[in-house]
Structure 1
């Protein structure tokens, strides 16, 4: 089967999923071309056939999503794809895919409509549309906005395969074509034995430099390995680390403090590591991840980190570890579902 696979290029979560799924599909004998952009293109281009596009980009300032700047940027940048539409037509006619897959990538769903191809929607964002969720009132506006964005990307598909670590029910109208699976875990992480050790530092992963959060960590009697500053340097109880040390610290760390991205959170749950989530303001998907994490008692979250919150989280590590040890995450579940879905297309 020939498969055109659209992958969102923002961050590394979507490309991490694609590394797992595309590798599996190729090993099963399928031919895959990945349509993507940004960070995902750089991750995937050496491993798979890739078709580069102008993608959507989220603009953050001081860990806050700037909605107007994001819209203005994408109106200028993303629409440039339409000036090169002959390239897409050439791709579809030459490759002639039997199936399209979209992971929060908006061009592939358009192509599938124009060329009448079946579509599988594969992501974690469609939790917002297809699953029963309890959303606190203070997040209602952000929830409806995020839900509208997700529906704009893909509202109709032949199948939805949704990755989730929570046990939310599928809405009745979606039950015939929606599957909820455990998050896929990349190979390097799967090689690490869950709860191997908790003897290392607290792993801290920040997507943006943040003096206030570093100041808070320095005031706490604990050792921290901090990523996101792209340097190797020790300052008191904080050791700034570069990415080549990340898997080692992930294996040994006592706990994780990080933004509320779905991929790292899933890897932490797989490895039974307590997690303190710091959702980016204005990005409801991260808020939802943090809410579900807290509900499952796998950790805590805060939009504005304080010393007291951090110390309370560290005092409760044993409670979180107990809940994590009870939870079973099956990363192979995804493959069984895709085998079933592909047989029906």
Structure 2
């Protein structure tokens, strides 16, 4: 089977989980070609040959919120000036490869090109959960929710199958939709989870520096990733991203402080770590993920960071740890086998 696999370049999560599935599919005899941009291209080109580099949307941050206007203007400029080039590169690859199927993890350009070529398409991601799950919203959340909802609807219109990574994997009455537990990096799976003395901090926005002054006031050691620096400042230990160190530090932490990114929350759940989540403002997917944490009773979600909330979280670690024992991360081999089975079902269906 020949598969073209498109991966969103924003953040590390899309590339991390796609890497697991691509390795699995190749090991089972499938030919997989990859198209990716941004961070996904940087990550995947180290592991795989012949990754086609394309443009990928970029999100800009200020503090702990998305710079909406700047991000939209950049996306508009990118769409006008660079997306056509990426589209033509993908069309050329489609003609050369003649794939049986396109898989997309939130990558819209390859999906659109495959749709025009009448190639079967499967979406495998986590944001699509917003199309099918209910999420409590305040009035101020509606612009971000509507933007994401219609972006997903438009970019994935006509998909033959939606396979959605989800913390609950509760199924709905739609044969085109399958919820599955998240794929977890082998580097995380091989760790021995222990409850150490430090708190693991990972932030998506490198400009959310006001957090530091508050953390200094706690009698705790914080190991911090996401700010691209390597130094120690009192009880704050900053580290540049290194995969092995990252996996070790999160697995040995007694708790984690994160935004609302799906992948790092999945890893924390797998390792049974209590989670303090401050989702990035105007990024509705993160708010949805953070609400799932509270629904499971494994941590706290707050829209803004406060020392009082963090203190409350730290005082309840035993309760969260007890609830974490109820979380079932699923069998990773079974998850991968189920995805391959669904791919085969889609290929066998008549258009």
Q: TM-score, structure 2 length as denominator?
A: 0.92
1:113 aligned to 2:115? Answer: yes
Aligned to 1:201: 198
Q: How does 1:61-210 map to 2 (within 5 A)?
A: 61-79=62-80, 80-83=82-85, 85-129=87-131, 131-138=132-139, 139-170=141-172, 172=173, 175-193=174-192, 196-207=193-204, 208-210=206-208
Instruction: Return the offset for 1:337.
Output: 1.9
Q: How does 1:184-333 map to 2 (within 5 A)?
A: 184-193=183-192, 196-207=193-204, 208-244=206-242, 245-330=245-330, 331-333=332-334
Instruction: Return the offset for 1:342.
Output: 2.3
CA spacing shift, 1:89–1:169, aligned 2, 3 Å:
closer
1:58 aligned to 2:55? Answer: no
Q: Is the 8 A contact 1:55 1:78 kept in 2?
A: no
Q: How does 1:6-17 map to 2 (within 5 A)?
A: 6-17=6-17
Runs of at least 5 residues in structure 2 that lack an aligned partner in the other structure: none
Match of 2:127, SS? coil
CA RMSD of aligned residues (A): 1.6
Aligned counterparts of 2:35 and 2:168: Cα–Cα separation in 1: 29
CA spacing shift, 1:246–1:122, aligned 2, 3 Å:
same
Match of 1:211, SS? coil
Instruction: Return the offset for 1:38.
Output: 0.5
Larger displacement relative to structure 2 (66-75 or 211-220)? 66-75
Q: Is the 8 A contact 1:159 1:177 kept in 2?
A: yes
Instruction: Return the offset for 1:108.
Output: 1.7
Cα deviation per residue 1:202-232 (whole Å; 9 max; x = unaligned)? 0111231433210110111211111223333
Larger displacement relative to structure 2 (236-245 or 50-59)? 236-245
Q: TM-score, structure 1 length as denominator?
A: 0.94
CA spacing shift, 1:57–1:300, aligned 2, 3 Å:
same
Runs of at least 5 residues in structure 1 that lack an aligned partner in the other structure: none
Instruction: Return the offset for 1:167.
Output: 4.8
Number of residue equivalences: 339
CA spacing shift, 1:221–1:8, aligned 2, 3 Å:
same
Aligned counterparts of 1:301 and 1:84: Cα–Cα separation in 2: 38
Q: Is the 8 A contact 1:256 1:268 kept in 2?
A: yes
